[in-house]
Structure 1
Amino acid sequence: MRRDLDRTGPSAGPSGSPWIWLLAATLMTAVSAAQKLPCLRGRVDTDVLATAQCYSDVPLFYVGRGLAADFGWLGHLNTGFRNLEYPPLINLFIEASAKLTHVVLGITPAELDRRSSMSGPDLYDLPGMAGEERAFFLVTCALLLLAVLATVWIAWSAGWTIGDRVSWVVLTPLVVLTLTLNWDALALLATALALLAWQRDRMAWFGVFVALGTATKLFPLVLLAAGLLLAIRARSVRALSRMLCAFAVTTIVANAPLYVSNPEAWREFWDTNTDRPASFGSAWMAMRMVGVPVSADQLSLVLGGGMLGAWAVLSLLTWRRLIEPTFEELSFVFLVVFFVLGKVYSPQYSLWVALALLLVTRNRWLICLVGAAETWHYIATWLYIREFTTPQSGIDKTYWSSIVIRLTVEAVAVLYVIERARRRARLDEPVSSEPVTAAS
């Protein structure tokens, strides 16, 4: 398999020193962490959430899940605390971050053991707990920075062109707002490694890294959908079998420790996502706001059926050579479909849309359009939660319209990508490279 990274635009590789990009990534991560500090210590329940736009999931877990006390690895939290609702590798990362925080702060085993019988409110009221919570957040951000730097280095060493200076100026505010909101930097690293493996025709490693990404966040699964489609079209049994076998084995290995240690903790992620209703940012919430009822069970079926339907349609179009998409373009379309059909559009999902768009185009108008829509939706979310824009009666038109605008712009981006693939097929233009070499 030859290189398949889309290189539209004037340059075929990154410009500037890699140290400049690493420094820029460090500064963005540091600013993102500092920007979240006003919301620490319970201030997410105040108007600072809307005025400073500083929410992060990370610090809420230190006391809220009993991580400030002694606890067991692999899902063995103390009695009275809810299990972590993330895939197994993020669970392990959160536990490791808490343990490292205990070491950095020099908290004695005796003190941690004493805390293990305390409730959340009791832990919260301990002297110095605000500083511990801040330390946990900063330790986590430091570890996430390592993932960010590794991702940037991979992109540089692989010779990828991801946007340009104007694009990054436009999207930097969105990156800063979302980068330390959750643990997505870990899944982004796995995604970069999967892209690198695809580029270098390492199908087994591609399956490994997609599985690791999926055991961190579910979204990297779209890479497997794109890879399977192109491998089937190329009739490459070898590529198909290698990526599937590696994905299956790695998925089992990544999930087994938590499942064996605490099956309930392992199921928490799936139960949370299965039972949750239509929530913030989703198309279904926008429908519910205007009086269209939807149930959680229906939405799970819609998401599953919609993803299969999108895969079938794109497979048919690609197989019949009606479109000639790159691997990145297919992955981008699948990613947006996943987010559009999902029950929730968490604010950090904008980071994925923006970075995926930079992989497939350098069209500044489209990047500016997507960046503006995603950033405005992010801001409108916290204004809505704090009821800054909610009228005394009727729906919050500001928030509702931000969802509709974001969905519309994402649809425009998908249509742009598909139209480019259609034009490429109509004019019999080759993609930047052949995605999979046919082999029996």
Structure 2
Amino acid sequence: MPPSFTEQPRSNERPSVAPTRTDRLARFASGLIGGPFGDHAVDPPRRRYWTPVRVVLLTGLVAFAISWLQKYPCASGGWTDWAQYTNACYTDIRALWGAERLNEGAIPYRDHPVEYPVLTGWFMGVLGQIAFRLGNIFGTDGGPIFYHLNAIVLFICGAAAIAILHRIREDNRRTDLPGPNPDPALVHSRPSRPWDAMMLAAAPIVLVTATVNWDLFAIALSMPFFLYWQRSRPIMAGLFLGLAVAAKFYALLFIGPLLILAFRQRKLLPALQATATAAVVWAVINAPVAYFWRDSWMRFFELNSERPVDWGTGWYVLRGVTGWEKLWDSEYVNDLYLVLFALSCIGIALLGLFAGRRPGIPGLRGIATADDLMPRLAQLCFLVVAAFLLFGKVWSQQYVLWLLPLAVLARPKWGAFLLWQAAELFYFFSFYGKMLQVSADGEDRGIPEFLFLTAAASRWIMVAVMCALIVQEVLIPRLDSVRGLRPRPRPAAATPPPRETSDPAPAAAP
């Protein structure tokens, strides 16, 4: 009987990947700190305190501290002269303190409808009650208290997401093997990649979007889903998937890739167990609110169907460039979105079923074999969530946080990642320039429309480029750095024929 996964050597006993050897940009940047990892370096170094997880978490905490400083001008509220836009420090957390009546001690759903899924509503409600009561005790405005409490808890959530991503990549088990009991030697055949988590910790966009909304809470709940699925624990994976969906609906998009790959791997039962567990968890969380305050509970679903085309979406850019008046009709855009997203999901499903399949194996009818190089779960999840954003009519600035950990899991390469981050930063600051131009109408402030359209288009294009690169690595698995596949051997060059013996030099003339 094969040993269980827990009996295998820990990932830190396996060789780990040095980014300065495998990533060209990391190799170039390492010149600032002494150059790439040396041939004679001890890996891992003995008696060291600064392990990868500590370095990565410290980097993340520094990033969160900078993010807190960046949003600090808006924490006190009372925004005047459009300071939330000129300082680019707007945050829904502070704005909804009054809009959701938390400043009156209101309890979400019971006293006021909330535009978020239930678990996020409870999150803001619990911290809102604490801030409201502390404000009454100290005789001060609870708004700043509410923001700072949320920032602290969200930073803890972000640190947890970084630590879990580090654990996923440190272990780096294979989940693409067919059958219920794959060979443990194959499961642990990939090298450890603990430094991949640095991409999440040091992502530039985190500096300005970490506390725009409560998305870090949902991300911290979604990351254990990938960890426990990697460890072949479907019930625990489903538990966290259900919690994540109850916090933000984007995690629901993980179920399709999960089922597609499970069908191909002949692991459909564990995937169904995870999906059923997620459904039960989501229902248990939502049922009391739906039963007692149905109208408030329905507010989230009604708002998403009624919302017009949002700033910065592909539809907004298309409308601005072409002047197509039909794109003002939100119902028409809804229909187009559903068609394009459905077609995208069909394409991703076909990619998951057939990419990397080894031909010529009779009787298997497309089911994976040990020789197949099938897509990884994170690759398909990134593609589905990206398609949802690329074709959706709402694309808020903080939604980039949904894609960040998926991008690290799907394609941990710095080059295109940083270009994408630059496009996101360009859009972030352009968005506030556009908001200032709209809000301070007649005051000649903000940025022109063409610049905003350029920023929105650059973001759309870079996410599409990331999708194209991931599809390329699905189709050509040897380009996928996570798999650690050796390049195909090149045929040896033909041995040149021996040169003919040259004639002796002529004797000197007498």
Normalising by structure 2, we get a TM-score of 0.71
Deviation of the 1:215 alpha carbon:
1.2
On the 8 A contact 2:74/2:90 being kept in 1, the answer is yes
- Extract unaligned runs of 5+ from structure 1: 109-126, 434-440
1:13-52 to structure 2, matched below 5 A, reads 16-42=51-77, 46-52=81-87
* Alignment CA distance shift 1:26-1:165 (3 Å): closer
Aligned pair count reads 404
Deviation of the 1:134 alpha carbon:
0.7
* Distance (whole Å) between structure 1 residues aligned to residue 197 and residue 471 of structure 2: 25
String of CA shifts for 1:12-47, please: whole Å, max 9, x gaps: 999835333333333322332232121245555634
Could you tell me which of 418, 422, 427 is aligned with 2:475? 422
* Residue in 1 that maps onto 2:391: 341
Could you tell me which of 398, 401, 408 is aligned with 1:358? 408
* Distance (whole Å) between structure 2 residues aligned to residue 196 and residue 373 of structure 1: 30
1:113-262 to structure 2, matched below 5 A, reads 128-129=140-141, 132-160=142-170, 161=193, 167=199, 171-172=203-204, 174-262=205-293
On the 8 A contact 1:198/1:206 being kept in 2, the answer is yes
* Residue in 1 that maps onto 2:294: 263
* Distance (whole Å) between structure 1 residues aligned to residue 482 and residue 418 of structure 2: 28
How large is the RMSD of aligned CA atoms in angstroms?
Answer: 3.4
Residue 100 of structure 1 aligns with an amino acid whose one-letter code is I
- Extract unaligned runs of 5+ from structure 2: 24-42, 45-49, 171-192, 358-373, 486-510
* Alignment CA distance shift 1:430-1:143 (3 Å): closer
On the 8 A contact 2:310/2:395 being kept in 1, the answer is yes
* Distance (whole Å) between structure 2 residues aligned to residue 279 and residue 36 of structure 1: 23
* Residue in 2 that maps onto 1:124: none
* Distance (whole Å) between structure 1 residues aligned to residue 341 and residue 408 of structure 2: 23
Matched, 1:309 2:343: yes
* Residue in 2 that maps onto 1:112: none
On the 8 A contact 1:354/1:370 being kept in 2, the answer is no
Deviation of the 1:298 alpha carbon:
2.9
Matched, 1:374 2:424: yes
On the 8 A contact 1:354/1:371 being kept in 2, the answer is no
Deviates more, 1:148-157 or 1:256-265: 148-157
Deviates more, 1:210-219 or 1:267-276: 210-219
Could you tell me which of 396, 401, 410 is aligned with 2:463? 410
Deviation of the 1:429 alpha carbon:
11
Could you tell me which of 113, 119, 123 is aligned with 1:83? 113
On the 8 A contact 2:245/2:252 being kept in 1, the answer is yes
Q: Which has the higher contact order (CA 8 A, sep 6+)?
A: 1
String of CA shifts for 1:50-70, please: whole Å, max 9, x gaps: 332111000112222211223
Question: Match of 1:49, SS?
Answer: helix
Q: Percent identity?
A: 22
* Distance (whole Å) between structure 1 residues aligned to residue 313 and residue 18 of structure 2: 32
On the 8 A contact 2:56/2:201 being kept in 1, the answer is no
Matched, 1:64 2:99: yes
* Alignment CA distance shift 1:17-1:188 (3 Å): same
Deviation of the 1:416 alpha carbon:
0.5
On the 8 A contact 2:165/2:405 being kept in 1, the answer is no
Residue 245 of structure 2 aligns with an amino acid whose one-letter code is T
Deviation of the 1:340 alpha carbon:
0.6
State which structure, 1 or 2, has the greater radius of gyration over its C-alpha atoms: 2
* Alignment CA distance shift 1:361-1:62 (3 Å): same
Deviates more, 1:306-315 or 1:176-185: 306-315
Question: Match of 2:457, SS?
Answer: helix
* Residue in 2 that maps onto 1:438: none
On the 8 A contact 1:162/1:359 being kept in 2, the answer is no
Deviation of the 1:128 alpha carbon:
3.9
On the 8 A contact 1:84/1:268 being kept in 2, the answer is yes
Deviation of the 1:320 alpha carbon:
2.5
* Alignment CA distance shift 1:431-1:303 (3 Å): farther
* Distance (whole Å) between structure 1 residues aligned to residue 394 and residue 17 of structure 2: 32
* Alignment CA distance shift 1:162-1:375 (3 Å): farther
Residue 53 of structure 2 aligns with an amino acid whose one-letter code is P
Normalising by structure 1, we get a TM-score of 0.82
